Amino acid sequence: MPNRLAREASPYLRQHADNPVEWFAWGEEAFAHAVQRNVPIHLSIGYAACHWCHVMAHESFEDPQTAHLMNERFVNIKVDRQERPDVDEVYQKVVQMMGESGGWPLTVFLTPQREPFFGGTYFPPLDRYGRPGFSRVLVALSEAWSHQDDKLLLNVDQFRRGFSELDRMVFGRAAEPRSDLPLAAARAFAEHTDPVYGGLRGAPKFPNPSCLDLMLRLNGRAHEPALLDAVRLTLDRMRAGGIYDHLGGGFARYSVDERWAVPHFEKMLYDNGQLVRLYADGYRLTGDTAWRLVFEETIEYVLRDLAHPLGAFFASEDADSEGEEGRFYVWTPEQVVTALGAQDGAFACRVLGITERGNFEGGSSVPHSAIELDAAERARFADVRARLLAARAARVRPSRDENVIASWNALMIEGLCAAYQACGSERFLAAARAAADFLNERLRMPDAGVYRVWRDFVPRVGGFLDDYAVLANALVDLYESCFDPTYLQRAVELADRILEKFWDEGLYFTASDAEPLVHRPRAPYDHAWPSGTSSAVFALLRLHELTGKAIYRERAEHVLEQLAPAAAGNAFGFSHLLAAMELAQQAPPTILLAGEPPQLQPLVHAVHRAYIPGRALALAQHVPAGAGRLPVDGRAAAYVCREQTCRAPVTSPADLLEEVRAA
């Protein structure tokens, strides 16, 4: 008999609809039930593609004895972190205050008033991995609650005070002597880059696109080869490793080893959107055609496997299929030969590093780039790759999380715009426009805000700061790609809503009219994607350049000043904010174009194809600063401006790029 989660729209919650646990979704029904029964709440947070969430579900939530214990002693609530990142943000701090790093599944125990008193992540069914068994935890906490254990009540009070203390540690730090924080951070990232395999040292190894982006930005100003070398090594090693899908395109979430060889196979939209942008920016800077192939193949993956028919993009694909992690992606030599025949099979195994010994469970291999190919071999491999991909398509696919999430779609739109500008593919621009139009039409709130998530033709959950801020940036990127002023107007609208709904002497993660939680989160740190705070600063700075609205820059500078001490002490956690600080401090050029669109194309292409981090681009007639900016002698012209002062107009692409360098 399905439980209450069968009524929910979230794919993650529906995964648990057949558990013998009497799950509730987050909401008043669950809280009232806990108050009525006077039992604590067991809160379990995860997401659809989370491997260890599946493991804990199979071991504990599907077990009748464990479920009986949970039902008898707790009110059990399931939360999809992708749908309610605010709830996740608050209760992750509980685990962090207990000295753990956090993660998913997140397991937190609360009073009926939602105040936490204990937490952790994955708990095994029995004591192992140095962790207590889940049933033992349930019994111990239930007994402590029944006897009103003093330690439990003390924990409630300590966590209550701890939320405010954590905010004070970030936002209340004394100002330190100012230095060039963005450059210092970029140098630190380069110094901590693995000299053999790239990426920040250690394992597991994540792509960390915000750190790479900061090094790429600072390379142009500082002219320090070590910065570009660190980026180049990392991008090359990632594209060669198993974290990259050499048959279908796209990147897995992270590598379990330091060599990028064996991934955790889930594929997330937010990773792929950011990495498309990073490889496109790297291609614009270096002209490396291998990087162009990576971002083109990654976009093909997203358009093929994550695209909604109406234009938006789904959230993720799971790591597991048929109950095994990675089963869909790995190969044995026998499987390859069966698909291709002996001669082509041997060639494919040599190219992709597929061996009898293997590098994954059961002697299977994760495909990677094992050898360098010449031109003839590349042509042959293209045919072999297509045939292997077709053979793989016959396998049972991993499940797909078909939530459409506003901020994650916005990250993909940013990637598509960067790819379009880098190579000129109209298909990429059309995909970006379709996704943006979807969000603007179907996730628009009555107050001109944005909903967080959409599924089955129903938007739900008011958006959070990152949904507003990343979408505002994406729409600026889209405007700068196609010059449709409706995208710029919508970006301004979102910036105004940010200041109206999320500002209170700084930026908060939740809107002022959102559901009150035990603590209003601020969420300034970057995680796997840029924080809403850093993205909002970017959007406000960029829109100040295009609109001239002083309040945008004033508010952005206020946040930078607030968080500079914290960023100085934790560059990794604020890498995207430091990129925004670089934008504020260096004041990159604003390029205003005057003339008819067909005549403007050579100038537009010159700007689009060049890597000019932070530059703003607009048609003169669309922005206040463009007043009086006209073509020159009937020819399309470009005005390069910096800090509201424009240089003499130029009419040739070469002169335009020279003016940009001079500015």
Distance CA 139, CA 116 (A): 17
**Mean of pLDDT values over 279-285:** 98
Structure token pair of residue 262: 């064996």
Averaged over 128-138, what is the pLDDT?
91
Confidence band (pLDDT; 50, 70, 90) for 179? confident
Instruction: Answer yes or no: is pLDDT of 346 > 60.
Output: yes
**What does the mean pLDDT of the chain come to?**
95
User: DSSP code of 258?
Assistant: T
Element (H, E) at 642: strand 637-642
| pLDDT exceeds 80 at position 149 | no
Bridge partners, 471 (sequence order): none
Give pLDDT, residue 31.
Answer: 97
Give the mean pLDDT of 226-240: 98
Q: So what's the pLDDT on residue 131?
A: 85
Cα-Cα end-to-end distance for the chain: 68
Burial (CB < 10 A; 0-12, 13-18, 19+), residue 129, is exposed
DSSP letter at 173 equals P
Cα–Cα nearest to 614, from 646, 578, 649: 578
Q: Which of 10, 12, 155, 42 is nearest to 107 (CA)?
A: 42
pLDDT digits (tens, 9 = 90+) for 82-128: 999 999 999 999 999 998 888 999 999 999 999 999 999 999 999 88
Percent of the chain with pLDDT over 90: 91
- Summarised one tens digit per residue, pLDDT across range 507-534 is 999 999 999 999 999 989 998 999 999 9
Domain 182-319+401-586 has CATH 3.40.50.300: no
Indicate whether 317 pLDDT > 70: yes
Please give the Cα distance from 411 to 275 (Å, whole number). Answer: 10
Q: What is the pLDDT of residues 189-200, one digit of tens each?
A: 999 999 999 999
CA 289-344-361 angle, 5° bins? 85
What is the reported pLDDT for 663? 75
Whether 175 has a pLDDT exceeding 70, the answer reads no
Q: Of 107-116, 174-183, 185-194, 316-325, which range is least confident?
A: 174-183
What is the mean pLDDT of the segment spanning 384-408? 97
> Which residues, including other chains, have CB under 8 Å from residue 628's CB and lie 6 or more apart?
none
pLDDT, average across residues 282-308: 98
Pairing of strands 451-455, 458-462: antiparallel
Query: What's the pLDDT score for residue 661?
Result: 86
Domain boundaries along the sequence of the chain: 4-171, 182-319+401-586, 329-394, 590-662
Convert the pLDDT of each residue in 435-489 to its tens digit: 999 999 999 999 999 999 999 999 999 999 999 999 999 999 999 999 999 999 9
Instruction: State in words which class domain 4-171 has.
Output: alpha beta
For residue 625, the SS3 value is helix
CA distance 395 to 322: 10
Closest C-alpha among 617, 611, 603 to residue 650: 603
pLDDT of residue 101: 82
Closest by CA to 563, choosing from 222, 98, 185, 100, is 185
As a whole number, mean pLDDT of residues 301-307 equals 98
Q: What is the pLDDT of residue 494?
A: 98
Mean pLDDT of 20-33: 97
| pLDDT at residue 177, rounded to an integer | 57
Q: Rounded to whole angstroms, how far apart are CA atoms 43 and 112?
A: 11
